[in-house]
Amino acid sequence: MWSELKQAIANVELLPLDWVGIRAVKESTTTRFVRDGIPQINGKSSTMGAMVEVIVDGSIGYAATNSCTPQALETAIKKAYQQAISVKNLYIHKFFPQQTRPQVVGEYISPYRDNFDSLSAGEINDHLIKICQHLKVSDKIVQTAAELVTSDRETWFISSNGSQVYQKFLLISSYYGATAQDGLITQQRTSNGWQAHSYQGGMELFPDVNQWQRVEQIGQQAVELLTADECPHTRTNLVLAPDQMMLQIHESVGHPLEIDRILGDERNYAGGSFVKLEDFGNLVYGSPLMNITFDPTVTGEIASYGFDDTGATAKREYLIQEGVLKRGLGSLESQARSGVPGVACARACSWNRPPIDRMANLNLEPGQGSFEDIIADIEYGVYMESNRSWSIDDRRYKFQFGCEYGKFIENGKLTKTLRNPNYRATTPEFWQNLLKVGGQSTWQMYGTPFCGKGEPNQAIWVGHGSPTCVIGNVEVFGGG
């Protein structure tokens, strides 16, 4: 691949380009899905192509091609050049390669032990069928499902100012869940939500060591929810498990801190943000216990990488430290436009999309105490696990989330099970009422391959780690 990319750049030296970069992507994805013990999907898809980007007199142009021959790449470079020229007088900011496209050389490879082909399609299907069988703990279980998705992705990035980066990602996502029904009452229970078990690594991550105990627990909890009381409507202490904190961080911290949203680039499609540029360095986003990091260096977390898709070197940064907003999710381009410090977050979902500001691994750093410690002094409260539904306004300010499974907390102990637990608040109210952040023993990381953004849409993988947290004075309520 390197020779084709280098040749294409060398052959367009006569064009008056300030900078040209090529990002080639090769990806293969396999999906196995079983419902009620019967295989439904055994599919494999592959894609390969390249995105060309040029900078001409401060203007950026793009062109993609599904062929990586030198001739096809040269044609794409010329198209990108013509695009940059045609909009040269319309840009909203003038970009300079030395500011937004650094020279970088390096490599990143996902840590793994076992290749994806270490288990055959038959062996994977047999295991998924067995999961469905173990989920059916009662005749009241009316549907079971299990899925495994693996993706092997390679990227090559090269530029006219000497950048040369190779990255290889092995991504694995699994899911299983059960639906229980008794008359008009239907309840679903999954293992931490839809494909929350999304990580970097190989087939050593499937099956999980403690999977069978967890599988049967999920089936039993689905049945348990059929006779549980509805979550009451009240204001109380809310305790959220890491699998729900994942979505809370994603929706009420990640998206509102994307600088392109704040600048208005996403307003037509995904909305804006309640955060303003002048808030960085000043806004008290949450309580002093709130420490959010952008960290693409965590081993095994799904959105770890060495370099973003424009060549910026990835490193750990505090977005929010002791409750104060420090920096945004802004690429080198967004940083140049806004004057706000950002991170290495220019990411594209594939070869046929340009990189835009995206989340990667966004984590709430652990505090202190075990699960028992952080609920010990709660006289009355509600504990919730696993996201079931979500709604948040286009400024990422008001939200309402529903969870699959709840418990009363009474006198420092988990007691009665609750079904259909929901909660709502505003983003500042929620985070400023963060009362306790559990220690490392409660910290867990999850991920999703389905974060959508951009026109045309880009679905990309993101990771979130969090401890169990206590939030005070939250409105909770029931209802499906």
Strands 229-230 and 317-321: unpaired
Q: To which residue do tokens 């020229």 refer?
A: 85
Q: What is the pLDDT of residue 424?
A: 98
Q: What is the pLDDT of residue 13?
A: 76
d(CA 340, CA 323): 18
Residues 6+ apart with CB under 8 A from 465: 242, 298, 301, 361, 363, 364, 443, 444, 445, 446
Q: Which helix (H) or strand (E) holds 267?
A: none
For residues 107 and 306, is the Cβ–Cβ distance under 8 A? yes
Q: To which residue do tokens 């040749």 refer?
A: 7
Q: What is the pLDDT of residue 420?
A: 98
Q: What is the pLDDT of residue 173?
A: 97
Residues 6+ apart with CB under 8 A from 135: 141, 144, 146, 176, 177, 178, 215, 216, 218, 219, 222
**Alpha carbons within 13 A on the beta-carbon side of 447:** 24
Q: What's the token pair of residue 52?
A: 């060309």
Q: Rounded to 5 degrees, what angle do the CA atoms 407, 448, 248 make?
A: 45
pLDDT per residue, tens digit, the chain (480 aa), is 999 999 999 988 778 999 999 999 999 999 999 999 999 999 999 999 999 999 999 999 999 999 999 999 999 999 999 999 998 888 889 999 989 999 999 999 999 999 999 999 999 999 999 999 999 999 999 999 999 999 999 999 999 999 999 999 999 999 999 999 999 999 999 999 988 999 999 999 998 777 899 999 999 999 999 999 999 999 999 999 999 999 999 999 999 999 999 999 999 888 999 999 999 999 999 999 999 999 999 999 999 999 999 999 999 999 999 999 999 999 999 999 999 999 999 999 999 999 999 999 999 999 999 999 999 999 999 999 999 999 999 999 999 999 999 999 999 999 999 999 999 999 999 999 999 999 999 999 999 999 999 999 999 999 999 999 999 999 999 987
d(CA 281, CA 327): 7
For residues 375 and 239, is the Cβ–Cβ distance under 8 A? yes
Q: What is the pLDDT of residue 207?
A: 86
Q: What's the token pair of residue 351?
A: 């070869």
d(CA 311, CA 21): 10
